[in-house]
Amino acid sequence: MARKLLFTVLIIIFLAIFIGGAAMAGDPAAGDPAGNATGKAADISAVAAGHPTLDEVAAQVGKNKVGINMTWMLLTGFLVFFMQAGFALVETGFTRAKNAAHTMTMNLMVFLVGALGFYLVGFPLMFGNFGAVSALGGPPILSRGLSIGGWNILGNSGWFLSGTAYDVTVIALFLFQMVFMDTAATIPTGAMAERVKFSAVAASTFFISMLLYPIFGNWVWGGGWLAQIGAKLGLGHGAVDFAGSSVVHMIGGAAALAGAVVIGPRLGKYNKDGAPNVLPGHDIPMAILGTIILFFGWFGFNPGSTLAATDLRVAVVAVNTMMAGAAGGFAAMIYHWLRYGKPDPSMIANGTLAGLVAITAPSAFVSPVGSVIIGLIAGLLVVEAVFFIDRKLKVDDPVGAISVHFVNGAWGIIALGLFADGTYGEGLNGVTGAVAGLFHGGGYGQLAAQLITVAAAALWGVGVSYLFFKAYHALAGLRVKAEDELAGLDIPEMGVFAYPEFPLNADGYGVMGHEGGTQRVHGAITSARPHPLPDHLPDS
């Protein structure tokens, strides 16, 4: 009966479309299917409708330019926000199933905490002295800061996006910059995954979003002292970092390095003789999907950093981003393949991200040829960096965050000083002429500025976050209890398993990761089956 009724309804719908559609086809009051007639003088706001004056036309053109640029800034900001999904998937895929709820949720929590921290303190410190958001035609609202002897060191306006900062141009800038900060803040979670306390990540995210990131960011993007070494000391255009190889990736990677050093390696990662063990990730497809999402987001990260769609250099930025990412993943894949006989999925992912990190600073200033070279070198560099950090430094970084973001962030900044081709960046940081590196007639000035930027990012990033993590570890503890780490962090830290059941091989020892206990599902306690630990695991 129901089937007959459905069939009848379907017939009626088809008949209505055929008969109705035919009847309406010749309607003279039709719309504009080709779109040729839509959008005309009458659409310009004018006192005499349809007959705007030249001033009225000019005003509309100006508004359109700002509208296009603001749309671009918001849309690319949304793309960068989506990179949070990429980070969550990469980090969770490259770690073990017994910690999946913990690792994945950290990546959401970092955004939540970071948004508040950046709003409360970070944004005014970083951009308080930014000046007008010129691509949006904004007034110079953000124009107060602290300086010592003419060197700017901190911004000091735009608090709470209130008062004069309650302004569309400032607020659009805030959205775009907040998601960049979030990228930096989420990098350390990968390096400290599988043994860090959830509460410690909440605390360190406040630290990164309020102080570590904004203060360094001010020095490069907020008109601070690193941006001034061009105009004041004659070092090229001063620190040039188009989309954040240093500001975002080196700072995030530095916090990852300091955090991983202070917290120590995962249990079972190193033998007594120091030889590293393999703790394979539990979901490679998840990590590869995350890498592709990050790549997609990078088309917001770099091209969006023009802050203007009317800056047509954006096409070059986008293609440079695309090619460096491809070259990085390709180089890492071939290198690992030749050396070990297989194209390791995690290294392909790391290589792709390394190429993207490296091109982030130079993406607007180099040619596609330069971007491919930068990406290829990044892909080789990341593989060597992973081996060096894992085997020589014996710093346990489950996802390769330090190698991808810190090492290749530094490479990207230096690469700009080499490959910038003198076609873009006229007047940047108050220095006349375009940005040119060593290989394009720029001499050593720009390269020197870039090297100073790398040194400053490393010293500030690693130094200050090391002090923070050391102090936090002494006061509240960064690391979970050993028995919780062995059992997996999902139940002790989060109260719920990511996967209530998962396969025997999931944690790399060929045993279940859970030690039993109870799990809390929507407030109800259900029993979890006990799984004995094998005798070759260390006692907790």
Partner 1 sequence: MKKLELIVRPSVVQQVIDALEETGAGGMTVTQVDGYGKQKGQTGLYRGTEFPIRLRPKVKLEVVVTEEKIESVIEKVIEVARTGEVGDGKIFVLPVEAAVRIRTGEKDEAAL
Residue closer to partner 1 (CB basis): 43 or 384: 384
Among 51, 63, 144, 339, binds partner 1 (CB under 8 A): 339
Contacts of residue 332, Cβ cutoff 8 Å, sequence gap at least 6: 347, 348, 350, 351, 352, 354, 379, 380, 382, 383
Backbone angles phi, psi at 498, to 5 degrees: -65, -45
Q: Using the rule CB under 8 A, is 444 a contact of partner 1?
A: no
Q: Using the rule CB under 8 A, is 346 a contact of partner 1?
A: yes
Identity (one letter) of the amino acid at 310? T
Residue closer to partner 1 (CB basis): 223 or 400: 400
Q: Using the rule CB under 8 A, is 340 a contact of partner 1?
A: yes
Residue closer to partner 1 (CB basis): 99 or 228: 99
Distance in Å, CB of 260 to partner 1, minimum: 15
Among 67, 503, 517, 530, binds partner 1 (CB under 8 A): 503
Residue closer to partner 1 (CB basis): 65 or 394: 394
Task: Compute the distance between CA of residue 38 and CA of residue 515 in angstroms, rounded to an integer.
Answer: 67
Contact between 358 and 324 (Cβ < 8 Å): yes
Q: Using the rule CB under 8 A, is 91 a contact of partner 1?
A: no
Distance in Å, CB of 384 to partner 1, minimum: 10
- In the chain, the largest separation of any two C-alpha atoms, in whole Å, equals 88
Q: Is the dihedral of CA 43, 44, 46, 49 positive or negative?
A: negative
Residue closer to partner 1 (CB basis): 182 or 390: 390
Distance in Å, CB of 312 to partner 1, minimum: 41
Give the torsion through C-alpha atoms of 344, 345, 347, 353, to 10 deg. Answer: 160
Contacts of residue 91, Cβ cutoff 8 Å, sequence gap at least 6: 103, 104, 106, 107, 189, 190, 193, 290, 398, 399
Among 131, 264, 508, 516, binds partner 1 (CB under 8 A): 508
User: Which one of the spans 262-270, 320-328, 344-352, 426-434 is the region binding partner 1 (CB under 8 A)?
Assistant: 344-352
Residue closer to partner 1 (CB basis): 128 or 281: 281
Q: Using the rule CB under 8 A, is 186 a contact of partner 1?
A: no
Bridge partners of 151, per DSSP, are 148
Q: Using the rule CB under 8 A, is 8 a contact of partner 1?
A: no
11-70: contacts with partner 1 (CB under 8 A) = none
Among 342, 481, 520, 529, binds partner 1 (CB under 8 A): 342
How far is CA 254 from each of CA 258, 281, 312, 458, 461, rounded to the nearest angstrom?
6, 23, 33, 7, 5
Angle, helices 445-475/225-233, rounded to nearest 10 degrees: 160
Residue closer to partner 1 (CB basis): 51 or 391: 391
Here's the x/- map for partner 1, 378-397, by CB under 8 A: it reads as -----x--xx--x-------
Please return the burial class of 398, using the count of CB atoms within 10 Å of its CB with bins 0-12, 13-18 and 19+: buried
């309804």: which residue's tokens? 9
CA 123 to chain centre: 17
Here's the x/- map for partner 1, 255-284, by CB under 8 A: it reads as ---------------------xxx-xx---
Q: Using the rule CB under 8 A, is 529 a contact of partner 1?
A: no
3 state SS of 196:
strand
Contacts of residue 61, Cβ cutoff 8 Å, sequence gap at least 6: none
Distance in Å, CB of 533 to partner 1, minimum: 15
Distance in Å, CB of 96 to partner 1, minimum: 12
Contacts to partner 1 by CB under 8 A: 276-278, 280-281, 336, 339-342, 344, 346-347, 383, 386-387, 390, 400, 503-505, 508, 510
